[in-house]
Amino acid sequence: MIRIVVIEDERLVAEELRNRLTALSNEVEIIATLMSVEESIIYFTEHPNPDLILSDIQLPDGLSFDIFNKVSCRVPVIFITAFDRFIVNAFEHNGIDYLLKPVEDKDLLKVLNKYKMFDQHFAGRQKFFESFAKAKKRLIVRRGTMNVSLKLEDIVLFYTEDKIIYTIDKEGKKYVCDKNLSELDEELKGAGFFRVNRQYIINAEYIRGYKSYEKVKLTVDLVIPFADHLIIVSQETAPYFRRWMNEI
C-alpha cells in the first residue's frame, strides 16, 4: 500500500482528492488529511514517515514549504497548486512533481506511477546495492600500462568522454576504467555513489553542496575543483538526488 497524507485546507477539495485517489488505485491508503501548516507540523513531528505527501502550497497560516523547513520529514511530496510561481521552491522541498489545478485523473495516475518508480529505485534495489557494496572496497582501473587497485573511498567521480570511461581520484589523478557507466551504476550506488546524468557518477564524500540551475536542475559543487567539469543534475533526476543527499 502507498500510505498518503493529503494537505489541503478546503475540506471539499480534500475529500474529492481522497475519493479520486482511492478510486484510481487499490494500492492507495489515505492515512491523514491536514488543513494547515501548524496542524501538519504537529502531525509530522509524531508521524514522520508516510510514503507520500500530496500538498497544496497556499494554506491559511502560510505556505506548505514552512512545514518541511521545521520538521525532519524525508518523504517525497507532490505539490498541487493553482499557481506556477512556486515551482523552484517545490523542488527544493522534497518535491518530485508539481501539479497545477484543476488536476485530472491522468495526472494523479502519472504521479502515483512516478512514486512507484521512485520507491523501487530507493527501496528494493537500494538494499541489494548496499549489501553488495559492503563486500566491494576497491576497483581495478588503468593508468598507462599499469593496472591500479583504487579504494572506492579515494574515487571522486567517473565520467565518460569520447566513449571512454575515466576515473578521477582524490589527488586529481586520471585513470581509464574498463566498465561502462551503467555497469558502475549497478555496482556502486549503495557505496555512496550517484549517477547524476548520462556522463557522471560522483562520490558523496567529495560533494561540498549543490544549488539550483535553470530553475529545476541542479549543479553540484565538489570539494576538489575540476575546472573543465560542470556537473548538472537533470530535472528528472534532481528529486532523487536531493533525497539521496538527505539519506546518505
Residues 7 and 110 in one domain: yes
Which of the residue ranges 79-93, 102-116, 168-182 would you say has the lowest mean pLDDT? 79-93
36 and 64, same domain (yes or no): yes
Residue where a domain stops, chosen among 122, 149, 167? 122
Number of domains in the chain: 2
Of the three residues 94, 122, 150, the one that is the final residue of a domain is 122
Higher pLDDT, 164 or 119: 164
Q: Which residue do the cell numbers 517525497 mark?
A: 76
Could you tell me which of 88, 24, 15 has the C-alpha nearest to residue 57? 88
**More confident position, 203 or 114:** 203
Q: Rounded to 10 degrees, what is the CA torsion of 219, 242, 69, 1?
A: 150
Do residue 117 and residue 134 come from a single domain? no
Among residues 85, 100, 122, which one ends one of the domains? 122
Residues 79, 100 share a domain: yes
Residues 83 and 152 grouped into a single domain: no
Q: Quick one: 93 and 45 in the same domain?
A: yes
Q: Is-above-0.95 flag for pTM?
A: no
Query: Has residue 127 got a pLDDT over 70?
Result: no
User: Which of 79-83, 120-124, 126-130 is predicted most confidently?
Assistant: 79-83
Q: What is the pLDDT of residues 150-159, one digit of tens each?
A: 999 999 999 9
| Contacts of range 174-181, beta carbons closer than 8 Å, 24 or more positions apart | 174/143, 175/141, 175/142, 175/143, 175/148, 175/150, 176/141, 176/142, 176/143, 177/139, 177/141, 177/142, 178/140, 178/141, 178/142
For residues 54 and 135, membership in a common domain is answered with: no
Domain of 72, CATH number, reads: 3.40.50.2300
Cβ neighbours, 10 Å, residue 232: 17
What CATH number is given to the structural domain containing 186? 2.40.50.1020
Residue 11 confidence (pLDDT) above 60: yes
Query: For the ranges 70-74, 122-126, 175-179, which has the lowest average pLDDT?
Result: 122-126
- Portion of the chain with pLDDT greater than 70, in percent: 91
The residues facing 63 across adjacent strands are: 58
Tell whether 166 and 191 lie within a shared domain: yes
Range of the domain at 67: 2-122
Residues 25-71: pLDDT tens digits?
999 999 999 999 999 999 998 887 899 999 999 999 999 999 988 88
